Amino acid sequence: MLYIPMNSFGNKFKVEIFGESHGQCVGVTLDGVPAGIAMSVEDFSIDVDRRRPSSKGTTSRKESDIPVFLSGVYDDHTNGNPLTIIFKNENTRSQDYKNLSKHYRPSHIDFVASCKYGQFADLRGGGAFSGRLTLPLVAAGVVAKKILQKQLERTLEFNSNIISVGGVPFGQHEQLLGDAMKNGDSLGGIIECSVNGLPVGLGEPFFDSIESVLSHLLFAIPAVKGVEFGAGFHAASMKGSEHNDPIISHDGKTKTNNAGGVVGGITNGNQLVFRVVVKPTASISRGQMTWNDDTGKVESLRVKGRHDSCIALRAPVVVESAAAIGLAQFVL
Ligand SMILES: Cc1cc2nc3c(=O)[nH]c(=O)nc-3n(C[C@H](O)[C@H](O)[C@H](O)COP(=O)(O)O)c2cc1C
């Protein structure tokens, strides 16, 4: 079977992410960006820095992460052409991944990528499946936020926070994280994201509902395993009288927000709220029994390389960027 890659998202604001963790660069091409939006390298600093590994439990791989505009920017403004932004990969250690094409990491891509791409699979640093590919996603989010501001003529307020790590509230997780790291293990987490200032009426009733489009993007983030809007899974144990959000003013403000700001797939003018589940990092240094194609046996594997012990710690801005990209589809 001929494999036809499909690595772009969107219609009016089209996002194509490319690159590999240990290739020359990672980047994004954005089509549909209107001309005349101010765009400088500095505009990316805040969100790029928020994604950067820094706290305990994040990878020791350090990159400069400076955006380079290859096209689409002239005189510090977008020029209406496809906007291509790249980030060079400068700090790679590919030898750490050599054995993984035969001795597969549990819950990582080594086995599936080897089956799908055969000898051409690029497993260095996770290849195209690496969390590194979320850097161009964040860059696309910066541009999406600018598009939203221009088209809606207001500044939306995005907030994204880690609410729990390893099953305990964020802030009380330090001991748990320290213990996991000491044991060569990893932790998952939950991130909550909200957006204030959205007008009523964004989204379409069916396939392009706000929930569908945002979920498509959120599940594209490596390691995201769950998404819920508003009351989410808790709605199943609520009564209608508890879950319904009474409308308390002419502009549609509701007393509660169990809908998470979306009804019928369309924004209702209240705060958009959703949560994502990020799984514990698959690459852990403690021994795990897993299939080795070289020996034809299940054997212990200790994963080498530099890894995040808790991916969720770096993911809030990634989640927020995915939301901005999704919302930008509806305002152009
Ligand atoms: C910001 C970020 C950093 C990540 N860092 C790592 C890492 O250091 N080690 C690892 O095994 N996975 C890491 N991942 C997750 C893997 O890329 C992902 O688990 C893998 O591609 C398998 O995909 P799946 O978990 O979505 O099924 C990271 C993901 C993100 C979003």
Q: What is the pLDDT of residues 195-223, one digit of tens each?
A: 999 999 999 999 999 999 999 999 999 99
3-class DSSP assignment, residue 19: strand
Render the burial of 29-64: b for 16+ CB within 10 Å, e for the rest.
Answer: bbbbbeeebebeeebbeebbebbebeeebbbebebe
Confidence of residue 93 (pLDDT cuts 50, 70, 90): confident
> 108: CA distance to ligand 1 center in Å?
8
Q: What's the confidence (pLDDT) of residue 99?
A: 76
Report how far Cα 314 is from the mean position of its chain's Cα atoms: 10
Give the residue-averaged pLDDT of 297-321.
95
Q: In this predicted model, which residue has the larger pLDDT, 1 or 97?
A: 97
Helices (H), 195-246: 210-220, 240-243
> 222: CA distance to ligand 1 center in Å?
5
Q: What is the pLDDT of residues 226-272, one digit of tens each?
A: 999 999 999 999 999 999 999 999 999 999 999 999 999 999 999 99
CATH code at 8-328: 3.60.150.10
**Dihedral through CA 197, CA 199, CA 204, CA 205, nearest 10?**
100
Closest residue CA from atom 1 of ligand 1: 131
Query: Quick one: which of 304, 328, 277, 1 has its CA closest to 164?
Result: 277
Residue 323 main-chain phi, psi, to 5 deg:
-65, -40
> 212: CA distance to ligand 1 center in Å?
23
Confidence of residue 105 (pLDDT cuts 50, 70, 90): very high
Residues with CB under 6 A from ligand 1: 59, 108-109, 126, 129-131, 134, 221-223, 279, 281-283, 307-308, 311, 314-315, 318
Residue 80 structure tokens: 């209406």
Query: Quick one: which of 229, 218, 47, 202 has its CA closest to 140?
Result: 47
Give the residue-averaged pLDDT of 269-278.
98
Residue 320 has pLDDT above 70, yes or no: yes
Q: In this predicted model, which residue has the larger pLDDT, 143 or 3?
A: 143
Q: What's the confidence (pLDDT) of residue 3?
A: 57
Total residue length of the chain? 332
Give the residue-averaged pLDDT of 313-332.
97
| Cα 244 to Cα 211, 257, 268, 291, distances in angstroms | 18, 8, 13, 50
> 83: CA distance to ligand 1 center in Å?
26
Q: In this predicted model, which residue has the larger pLDDT, 56 or 175?
A: 175
- Of all helices (H) and strands (E), which one includes residue 22? none
Helices (H), the chain: 45-51, 110-117, 134-152, 174-182, 210-220, 240-243, 316-328
223 Cα nearest atom in ligand 1: 25
Q: What's the confidence (pLDDT) of residue 264?
A: 98
Q: What is the pLDDT of residues 43-84, one digit of tens each?
A: 999 999 999 988 888 888 788 899 999 999 999 999 999 999
Give the residue-averaged pLDDT of 280-284.
96
Residue 2 has pLDDT above 60, yes or no: no
Q: Which of 21, 87, 124, 130 to mutate to test the pocket of ligand 1 (most atoms within 8 A of CB)?
A: 130
Closest residue CA from atom 8 of ligand 1: 307
% of the chain surpassing 90 pLDDT: 88
- Number of Cβ atoms within 10 Å of the Cβ of 107: 16
Q: Which of 311, 317, 319 to mutate to test the pocket of ligand 1 (most atoms within 8 A of CB)?
A: 311
306 Cα nearest atom in ligand 1: 8
Confidence of residue 179 (pLDDT cuts 50, 70, 90): very high
Q: Kindly state the DSSP code that residue 274 receives in the 8-state scheme.
A: E
pTM attached to this predicted model: 0.95
Give the residue-averaged pLDDT of 74-96.
92
